[in-house]
């Protein structure tokens, strides 16, 4: 069984550090797909302005990524419509920044010509073709569309990975997802590409979860993936970790940051939630960590870097409780370790 894991991650520091902190054995079996996030908006002036130029933002992001993760990876540059936002005057310099690094571009099969041409200028000889299920109009025509796409990019099938991306499935029936996947996967197999992977996220919208609570939500990506494996067709596994699908852009003045820790189990997402930081402070994270280590959910401090950090904060080892980035780092690291061990069974 293929135990390569393809997590779909935001191109942010918390995620980069989560990867850096993985055990070396886990690192060897992970191929992250980064969704490149635009610069932060300058909400103090104009929500159409940015706190950094695109050139400096992309350079800093790529430098941080390659410093924390010197292994194979993919980047979807236009996951959040960033290519359209790049000033025309900066385009050539930005393309050269991407040319300098060794990575596999991830491109939406149904992208606009302007996006397609941007990737073509980066000029890589390997690719991940992302196929969002909600954009498919004609399943039977997929092999033909993929063949034309690769021919225009001058890339061979054997240098191509196909990502069948269901994205957010948290509101979908598990049987429905399996049924749709079983209809599409054999058609993708006809393309004779290097590999097919299936991506999805059942991670819930946690904004409606009440404060000061422990909540369990059904986690079923792995069960869907497992039931899709067959003798004739092996499918790689991809998910959106504990970050979920999409990018939340809110004016910081209107945001209410809360204390929460997301923890992964076999069939559950465990949400340990406190209250607003302004009300309860960052000390809440110590209370949440103590709840986790005293529960049946906890895998033990030696399970992952994230689990070790939970143990340290619970026991006040260094007197610090971290910030929001720390807990992204913890939850994503613990999740990726858990999935790696699932896929290795």
* Rounded average pLDDT over 204-229: 94
Lowest mean pLDDT among 85-89, 95-99, 236-240: 85-89
CA distances from 287 to 64, 97, 313, 321, 323 (A): 32, 44, 9, 10, 14
pLDDT score recorded for residue 52: 75
Residue 214's pLDDT band (cuts 50, 70, 90): very high
* Rounded average pLDDT over 29-33: 97
Tokens linked to 111: 């992208």
* Rounded average pLDDT over 110-117: 90
pLDDT score recorded for residue 228: 94
State the Cα–Cα distance between residues 271 and 206, nearest whole angstrom. Answer: 8
What contacts 94, CB < 8 A, 6 or more positions away? 54, 55, 58, 86
pLDDT score recorded for residue 85: 85
In the chain, which segments carry CATH 3.20.20? 8-205+218-249
When the pLDDT of each residue in the chain is averaged and rounded to a whole number, the result is: 92
pLDDT score recorded for residue 306: 98
* Rounded average pLDDT over 329-343: 97
State the Cα–Cα distance between residues 220 and 266, nearest whole angstrom. Answer: 9
For the chain, what is the total number of helices (H) and then of strands (E)?
13, 11
* Rounded average pLDDT over 117-129: 94
Residue 1's pLDDT band (cuts 50, 70, 90): very low
Q: Which residue has the higher pLDDT, 70 or 2?
A: 70
> Tens digit of pLDDT for each residue in 251-304?
555 556 889 999 999 999 999 999 999 899 999 999 999 999 999 999 999 999
Residue 331's pLDDT band (cuts 50, 70, 90): very high
CATH of domain 8-205+218-249: 3.20.20
State the Cα–Cα distance between residues 64 and 193, nearest whole angstrom. Answer: 31
């Amino acid at each position: 069984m293929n135990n390569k894991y393809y997590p779909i991650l935001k191109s942010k520091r918390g995620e980069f550090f989560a990867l850096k902190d993985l055990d070396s054995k886990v690192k060897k079996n992970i191929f992250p797909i980064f969704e490149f996030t635009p610069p932060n908006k300058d909400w103090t002036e104009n929500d159409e302005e940015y706190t950094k130029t695109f050139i400096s933002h992309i350079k800093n992001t790529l430098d941080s990524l390659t410093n924390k993760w010197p292994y194979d990876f993919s980047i979807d540059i236009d996951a959040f419509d960033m290519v359209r936002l790049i000033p025309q005057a900066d385009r050539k310099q930005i393309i050269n920044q991407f040319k300098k690094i060794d990575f596999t571009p991830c491109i939406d099969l149904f992208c606009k010509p302007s996006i397609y041409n941007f990737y073509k200028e980066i000029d890589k000889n390997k690719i991940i073709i992302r196929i969002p299920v909600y954009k498919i109009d004609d399943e039977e025509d997929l092999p033909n569309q993929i063949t034309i796409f690769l021919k225009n990019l001058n890339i061979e099938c054997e240098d191509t990975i196909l990502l069948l991306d269901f994205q957010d499935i948290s509101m979908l029936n598990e049987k429905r997802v399996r049924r749709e996947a079983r209809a599409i996967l054999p058609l993708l197999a006809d393309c004779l590409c290097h590999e097919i992977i299936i991506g999805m996220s059942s991670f819930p919208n946690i904004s409606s979860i009440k404060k000061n609570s422990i909540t369990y939500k059904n986690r079923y990506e792995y069960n869907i993936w497992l039931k899709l494996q067959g003798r004739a067709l092996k499918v790689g596994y991809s998910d959106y970790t504990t970050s979920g699908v999409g990018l939340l852009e809110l004016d910081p003045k209107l945001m209410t940051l809360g204390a929460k820790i997301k923890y992964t189990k076999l069939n559950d997402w465990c949400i340990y939630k406190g209250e607003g930081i302004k009300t309860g402070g960052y000390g809440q994270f110590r209370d949440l960590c103590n709840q986790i280590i005293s529960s049946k959910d906890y895998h033990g401090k030696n399970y992952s870097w994230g689990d070790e950090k939970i143990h340290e904060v619970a026991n006040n080892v260094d007197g610090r409780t971290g910030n929001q980035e720390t807990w992204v780092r913890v939850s994503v690291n613990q999740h990726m370790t858990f999935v790696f061990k699932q896929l290795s069974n």
